[in-house]
Amino acid sequence: MKSKYTTLLLAAWLLGSATSCQDDFTDLEPQGTITNANFWKSDADALAASNGLYTYMKDDDMFGRGFFWLINASDDMVTGRVRATAANVRNFTATGNEGDTNKMYGYSYRVIRRCNEILKNVPAMNISESLKNRVLGEAYFMRAFTYFHIATRYGDQRAGVPIVTVANMDQNIFPRPASVVENYQLMEEDFKKAAELLPLVTTYAPADLGRAHKDAALAYLTKTYAFWAQYDKSKWAEAEKAADAVASSGSGRALLNTGNAQQDFHSVFTIPNNWSTEYIWSVVSGKQDGSILPGVLLENKGWGLYNGWGYFQPTLDLYEEYEANDPRRKATILTFGDEFQYLGATKRYSSTNSLTGFQFSKYMQPYETPVTDHLNANGDKPTTDLNVPLMRYAEVLLLKAEAQIMQGKNGDAALNAVRRRAGLAPKTGATLADLKHERRVELAGEFADRHADLVRWGDAQATYAKPQRGRDYADKSNPSSTFKVVEVWPARTFNPAIHHVWPIPPTDLANSKIAQNQGW
């Protein structure tokens, strides 16, 4: 949302503070409910409450780099700098106390609490029906979206994550449900309600872009079914239907495809296309606020010109996954000798810091021009004007193809739409292996979450039993240097009976009196 809502965001922050649980959540004991007779009265109040739902989207410990530490466990990347806590997560020796990852769980329940306050109070407000429906739709969407990110990571068939709704939000204790399926059932209900209540994104005025919308609800409903299908294969049919609903919603969601394969994929990750037809859901970003991920991925110290942080570096294994003529590789990964624009000048890539000899380049467009154009001048908060995508239409197509393949159907059309944009030959009778390849190369370096894919496919144990490789350059400051292939991260032990979920932060366990995930 744009600056016209600045004062409302302040009100929303106060609202959230008044209604959230303890800062160290989850004792899950409410610290009071809204009693201010002047609130829940006007359009402005409803807007303030809905704006508060998005506060944590931009948080460094959420979609800045918080959840990315868990994605970093995959074979696509390694931790680019020495960081013991991050290494513990990547090596599956974490305790849950790690500062990199111990906030997402609690922050997520703060968002859920804000959603519940809206769902409790807005129905009785004397405001326009269209605004009421939208605000309620936003709350249903954000509650389900938030549950998706914690239930899929901390819940399994042995125990879900605590369910907090309007009906029970004022209780003191919230036990874990018997299975994560109960979480999926709530997400299904919420995403469907959101899809009914929310408008199409194409109807939003510029100031409202970034709010939840119908296609986002349908797309995440699709992904919810794909994860649910681990426990109930009938959900693949539902995933296919939900993906079709995105395509037929009337919003014109489509891949950016002008027929120029060398440019089209790259163009998705550019500021002018923040709200393109491929947009489904993103972290709305700006120079002063938003996701710090682009700066986190940038070369450490930014070649002396900007404070990049140098984390999450692509592996040689990912680089080699691409077909030789796939333009997505260049658009995704910088390798020694590649020419690119950096802060107004042409540069050839080299790195004295990269462990692998590579850098993710998907989010580099804001760095093409001088710092003042699109970057936060404060490199300690390296946000940019580029929205960071969380869900693209390309992923919806790949989820549809996967759903079809898993039902024994032909998934060629959806999968080949993605390949066609890259200028690649179509697949005939695409297999699950073809689908896995396409997800990996299309969505590399994104919040789509390669690690979660490997876990739900049952591939994580075998994949992580192999070391990750990179290139060690003889002269790291020379873009034309020779290199040798080296091991950059040793093989890891992944126990699928334990490591398919993450440890819940111990402080949250103590406060909420729930049990830790088994084996952690």
**Does 367 fall in a domain?**
yes
Residue of 516, 519, 520, 518 whose CA lies nearest to 105: 516
* pLDDT tens profile 470-507: 999 999 999 999 999 999 999 999 999 999 999 999 99
Same domain, 180 and 297: no
One-letter amino acid identity for 260?
Answer: N
Q: Cα–Cα distance between 59 and 359 in angstroms, integer?
A: 23
Cα(235)–Cα(206) distance, rounded to whole angstroms? Answer: 36
Contact 363, 388 (CB under 8 A): yes
Within 10 angstroms of residue 4's Cβ, the number of other Cβ atoms is 10
Q: What is the pLDDT of residues 153-176, one digit of tens each?
A: 999 999 999 999 999 999 989 999
Q: Which neighbouring-strand residues pair with 486?
A: 470
**Structural domain count, the chain:** 2
Note whether residue 160 is domain-resident.
yes
Residue 513 falls within a domain, yes or no? yes
Q: Contact, 208 vs 198, CB < 8 A?
A: no
CB 393 within 8 A of CB 278: yes
Query: pLDDT tier at 5 (50, 70, 90 boundaries)?
Result: very low
| Distance set, CA 313 to CA 351, 356, 519 (Å) | 11, 7, 29
pLDDT digits (tens, 9 = 90+) for 139-148: 999 999 999 9
Same domain (yes/no): 477, 505: no
If asked whether residues 514 and 471 sit together in one domain, one would say no
* 175 and 317 both lie in a single domain: no
Band of the pLDDT at 36, cuts 50, 70, 90?
Answer: low
* 346: β partners: 341
- What pTM does this model have? 0.94
Closest CA to 145 of 283, 5, 294, 23: 283
Angle 351-353-355 from CA coordinates, rounded to 5°: 100
Within-domain flag for 97: yes
For residues 484 and 511, membership in a common domain is answered with no
Both 361 and 483 in one domain: the answer is: yes
Same domain, 480 and 515: no
Residue 267 lies in a domain: no
- Asked whether the beta carbons of 395 and 232 are under 8 A apart, the reply is no
pLDDT tens per residue across span 85-118: 999 999 999 999 999 999 999 999 999 999 999 9
Question: 303 and 191 in one domain?
Answer: no
Side chain identity, residue 431: T
One domain for residues 157 and 184: yes
- Per the domain annotation, does 103 fall within a domain? yes
Whether 69 and 184 map to the same domain: the answer is yes
Same domain membership, residue 57 and residue 189: yes
Across the chain, mean pLDDT equals: 93
Q: Tell me which residue range forms the domain holding 102.
A: 37-198+497-519
**258 located within any domain:** no
What Å distances lie between residue 170 and 21, 31, 353, CA to CA?
10, 9, 50
| Residue 234, in any domain of the structure | no
- Whether 471 and 515 map to the same domain: the answer is no
SS (H, E, C) 167-220: CCCCCCCCCCCCCCHHHHHHHHHHHHHHHHHCCCHHHCCHHHECECCHHHHHHH
Q: CA-to-CA distance for 12 and 24, rounded, in angstroms?
A: 20
| CATH number (domain holding residue 167) | 1.25.40.390
From the list 16, 48, 47, 55, the residue with the least C-alpha distance to 32 is 16
Reduced 3-state DSSP string for 318-346: HHHHCCCCCHHHHHHEEECCCEEEECCEE
pLDDT in tens, 366-379: 999 999 999 999 99
Rounded distance between C-alpha atoms, residue 54 and residue 42, angstroms: 20
Distance CA 502, CA 27 (A): 19
Tens digit of each residue's pLDDT (9 = 90 or more) over 423-432: 999 999 999 9
**DSSP 8-state class, residue 271:** G
Strand partners, 388: 283
